[in-house]
A and B are shown apart, each in its own frame.
Chain A
Amino acid sequence: MSFLVRCPQCGNRSVYEFRFGGEVKQRPAPGAPESDWVNYTYTKVNEAGVQREWWFHRSGCRQWFQALRNTVTNEVQDSFFPEEST
Chain B
Amino acid sequence: MSEPSDTLTFEFNGQPVNARAGDTVASALYRSGQRIFTRSFKYHRPRGLLCLSGKCPNCLMNVDGTPNVRTCMTPVRAGMRVTHQNAYPSLEHDWLAVVQRFDWLMPVGWYYKTMTNPRMWHAAEPFVRKIAGLGTPPSLDNVSGNYEHSYRHAEVAIIGGGPAGLKSAIELATKGEQVTLIDDQPGLGGHLRFSKNADNSLAELIAQIQKHANIQVLQGCYCFGLYEGNLLGIVQPRPNPQAAEQLIHLRAGRVVVATGAYESPLLFPNNDLVGVMLSTAVQRLIHLHGIAPGKVAVVIARSPLEEPVVADLRAAGIQVAAMVAPESVVKALGNKRVKGLVTRDARYSCDLLVVCGHRIPDAGLLNQAGARLQWDGKKGAFIPADFPANISAVGEVTGESLVAPGPLPPERDPANKRAFVCLCSDVSSQDLVDAIDEGFDHIETLKRYTTTTMGPCQGRMCQLPAIGVCARQTSRSMAETGVTTSRPPNPGVTLGALAGARHHPTRRTPMHYEHDELGAVWLDMGEWKRPRYYQAQKGANERSCVEEEYRAVRERVGLIDVSTLGKLDLKGRDVGMLLDKIYAGRLSDLRPGRVRYGVLCDEAGIMLDDGTVSRLADDHFFVTTTTGNLDFVHQWMKWWLVGTGWDVYITNLTAGLAAVNLAGPNAREVLAQLTDCDLSTKAFPYMACRSAPVAGVEAILMRIGFVGETGWEIHFPAESGPDLWKALLEAGRKFAIRPFGVEAQRLLRLEKRHVIVGVDSDALTNPFEAGMAWAPKLDKEDFIGRAALQRLAGQQPQQKLAGFIMNEDVLPEDGAAIMVNGQLAGRVTSVRFSPLKQKAIGLAWVPAEKAHEGAEVDVRVGGRLARAKITEQTFYDPEGARLRT
Contacts and interface: CB of A to CB of B under 8 A. Distances in A.
Consensus secondary structure, chain A interface: mixed
B404 interface: no
Interface stretch (B132-140, B223-231, B834-842): B223-231
Given A28-B787, A81-B642, 17 more contacts: A2-B229, A2-B231, A3-B228, A14-B229, A14-B231, A15-B229, A21-B639, A30-B781, A30-B786, A32-B787, A41-B787, A41-B788, A56-B638, A56-B639, A58-B635, A64-B639, A74-B229
Contacts of A21: 639
B603 interface: yes
Nearest to B644: A83
Interface string B626-653: 0000010001001100110100000000
Interface string A45-81: 0000000001010100011100000000110000001
A49 to B, nearest CB: 17
A74 B229 CA distance: 9
Contacts, number: 52
B782 interface: yes
Closest 8 CB pairs of A and B: A2-B231, A37-B787, A30-B782, A2-B227, A3-B229, A41-B603, A4-B229, A3-B228
B228 A2 contact: yes
Contacts of B645: 83
A54 B635 CA distance: 12
A21 B791 CA distance: 26
B746 interface: no
B322 interface: no
Given A4-B229, A74-B228, A83 B643 contact: yes
A86 B642 CA distance: 15
Most A CB contacts (10 A, CB to CB) among B603, B631, B787 go to B787
B251 interface: yes
Interface string B203-236: 0000000000000000000000001110100000
B291 interface: no
B562 interface: no
A83 B642 CA distance: 8
Is the interface on chain A under 10, 10 to 19, 20 to 34, or 35 or more residues?
20 to 34
Nearest to B233: A2
Contacts of B635: 19, 56, 58, 64
Nearest to B228: A3
Contacts of A42: 604
Contacts of A40: 603
Interface string B781-798: 110001110010000000
Interface string B713-743: 0000000000000000000000000000000
Contact of B604 (A32, A41, A62): A41
Interface in B591-605: 603-604
A15 B228 CA distance: 11
Contacts of A37: 603, 787-788
Contacts of B787: 28, 30, 32, 34, 37, 41
A14 B250 CA distance: 12
6 contacts: A2-B229, A3-B228, A3-B229, A21-B639, A30-B786, A41-B787
A21 B25 CA distance: 52
Contacts of B643: 82-83
A54 B639 contact: yes
Contacts of A58: 631, 635
Nearest to B639: A64
A20 to B, nearest CB: 12
Interface in B566-603: 603
A82 B645 CA distance: 12
Contacts of A32: 787
A34 B643 CA distance: 25
Contacts of A82: 642-643
A34 B791 contact: yes
Contacts of B788: 37, 41
B655 to A, nearest CB: 15
Interface string B122-145: 000000000000000000000000
Contacts of B786: 30
A14 B638 contact: no
A42 B603 CA distance: 9
Contacts of B251: 14
Contacts of A56: 635, 638-639
A15 B231 CA distance: 12
Contacts of A2: 227-229, 231
Nearest to B781: A30
Contacts of A1: 228
Interface in B131-176: none
A37 B638 CA distance: 22
Nearest to B791: A34
Nearest to A65: B642
B638 A62 contact: yes
Contacts of A64: 635, 638-639, 642
A8 B631 CA distance: 21
